[in-house]
Every structure is written in structure tokens, then in C-alpha cells.
Amino acid sequence: MKKNLILLATVFLAATLFTSCGDGFKTTKDGLIYKFLETNKGAKQVQMGDVLVGTCVMRLNDSVLITIDQPDRILMATNPAFKGDLPEGLLMMHIGDKAIFGVPADSLALLGFKLPSYYKSGTGMTIYYEINLTDIVTQEEIAQERDNYIENQRQIHEAEAETLAKYVADNNIKATPDEEGLYIIVNKKGKGQIVEINRNVAINYTGRLLNGKVFDTSIESIAKQNGIYDAERKYAPLSYTVGQMSLIRGWQKGIINQPAGSKLTLIIPSSMGYGPQGAGDLIPPNSPLIFDIEIVSVQ
């Protein structure tokens, strides 16, 4: 899905202008306070599991916490977590409605939500949401988006497998991929300590795309040769504790059980690299990667 879905269970959301919560509020039987500023009852109504599209402002009493002032996917209509929870109000809304809902801050705090430092438990503070509902994405539409995404990724991975097979054949590479499509080519077998989880390693590396474009390296001369030299960076072997540093899965899997002194080439499918997100401007989405690695030391 192109737009981010912000689920009620994990984060609070917000948007444009917040109207004063004076007279005109009502209370549901479960204790949710609400006021509709604009109504459009002839339009489509929110159903359980729908995603609300619109703008929203969230505040704690009079203090604005978050504002989202451009229509986006902001909330999902889920089951309430407690009496007087926001989902009860969401299910009352129609496209084109604008409403304010008030939820006890203490109830949210008990669920573990992080509230500002000026929140005081037991003082009756309220979280208010002003929501301007501009559209609804139904469960069926969400499921179709998910299915389309999965099918698109399947086609991409099939095409990628063919591309990798051609690259391997064109470059006369004799290695075969493992069950996940990772190629581990041992150019030189070391004789030192074996790489294992929780051992400290130092590794020199150069990462490139299939077209040969270098996007990162720990070696200064290679960085200069490929126009990616950064004068503010220290060029030296990457030192870290195996299993305690966030690295792409292809790298992590490729060096395990390899001895110090080894020189490897890892051909990593995008599913074990940066996937459909890519990484900045240098690594496009769904890019297979090649890493030339030297395991300098293992302790």
C-alpha cells in the first residue's frame, strides 16, 4: 500500500483545526463523549475493519499533541479496548462528517500509551480527537491491495531470479544458491577463528549493484575510484558483534561459519537485502546486491 496505515492500537493521530470543546457534547452509553460539527448521514458509514481517510487533530485537554492536516489513512475501526474508547465513535461516522471525540487519558495510559510529561493520572484529563472524514477504505479494498502487492512481489522475484541466473552464467560463476537464493562464493578460505553469533568481527567490504555500481565500501581507495568518497568518514574495517548489529540478512547469513582470513563474494537477492523499500538514492527497490567481503579478524 502506497500510503501508510496508522493503526489505532499503536499510535495517536491528528490533523487540522481543533474546535473548542464547550457545549453540545453528548455521551454514549459506554462513556465516550462526542460532538458532530458536520454531518452527512446519507453518505457511506464506517464499518468494522474499515480504514478512515481524512484529517485529524489530537490534543490532551487544551494542548495539541499531533496534527495531520492533509487527508491520509489515519485510523482503523477496530474493537474498543475499553468502555468509552474511540472506535465506538468512529463507527458512528459517515464520509463528509466532522466530529470531536473525547477519551479518558487514564484509560489510554493504562494500555501503555506514552503521554506527555504534563499528563497527571487521576485528574480526569481527556484526549480529544477532531476528525474530518473524507473517505473510507473497506476491508475488501484493503484485502485487494494486499493481494495485488503480493502478486506484484511474486512477479518481481521471479524476474529477479532469472536476472541473477543470467548474471551468474555470464560471469562463469560456479557456486549454486542456497534455498533462499543466496550465493556464497569463497574466493579464499581463511584459517582463523570461525564466525559465530556473539563473536566480535572486523570486516572489510564493498557493496555494488549487478550493473557494477559501487554504493558503499569500507576501503578508502575503492571509495575514491568510484566517486563515493566521504572526507568526513573513517575508512576502516567494520567492527561489530555478530548477532548484535542490524545488518541485511544476506550478509549475516553469508559470513556465519566462515573463518577469519576468508575472502567472499555474496550475491544477495533483494528479499535478503533491502527488499521493496530499497535504501536511499543508491539502492533502488528490489535490487539484488553483491558484496565483496574480507573477514579481517574474529575474536
What does the pLDDT average to over 235-246?
A: 94
Domain boundaries, the chain: 26-137, 156-298
pLDDT at 23 (0 to 100): 65
What mean pLDDT value characterizes the chain? 91
Q: Note the helical H segments in the chain.
A: 87-90, 105-110, 139-170, 220-225, 249-255
Q: Is 62 exposed, middle or buried (0-12, 13-18, 19+ CB in 10 A)?
A: exposed
Measure the CA–CA gap between 15 and 136, rounded to whole angstroms.
Answer: 17
Cβ neighbours around 208 below 10 Å, total = 17
Measure the CA–CA gap between 259 and 261, rounded to whole angstroms.
Answer: 6
pLDDT at 51 (0 to 100): 97
Cα 77 off chain centre by: 21
Q: Give the pLDDT band (50/70/90) at residue 24.
A: confident
CATH class of 26-137: alpha beta
Lowest mean pLDDT among 34-38, 86-90, 126-130, 172-176: 172-176
pLDDT digits over 55-65, tens only? 999 999 999 99
The pTM of this model reads 0.67
* Equal fold, 26-137 vs 156-298: yes
pLDDT digits over 112-127, tens only? 999 999 999 999 999 9
Whether CATH 3.10.50.40 fits 156-298: yes
Lowest mean pLDDT among 9-23, 108-122, 161-175, 260-274: 9-23
Cβ neighbours around 97 below 10 Å, total = 21
**Residue 150: CB partners within 8 Å, gap ≥ 6?**
none
Q: Are 175 and 184 in contact (CB under 8 A)?
A: yes
Angle at 144 between CA 142 and CA 146, to 5 degrees: 70
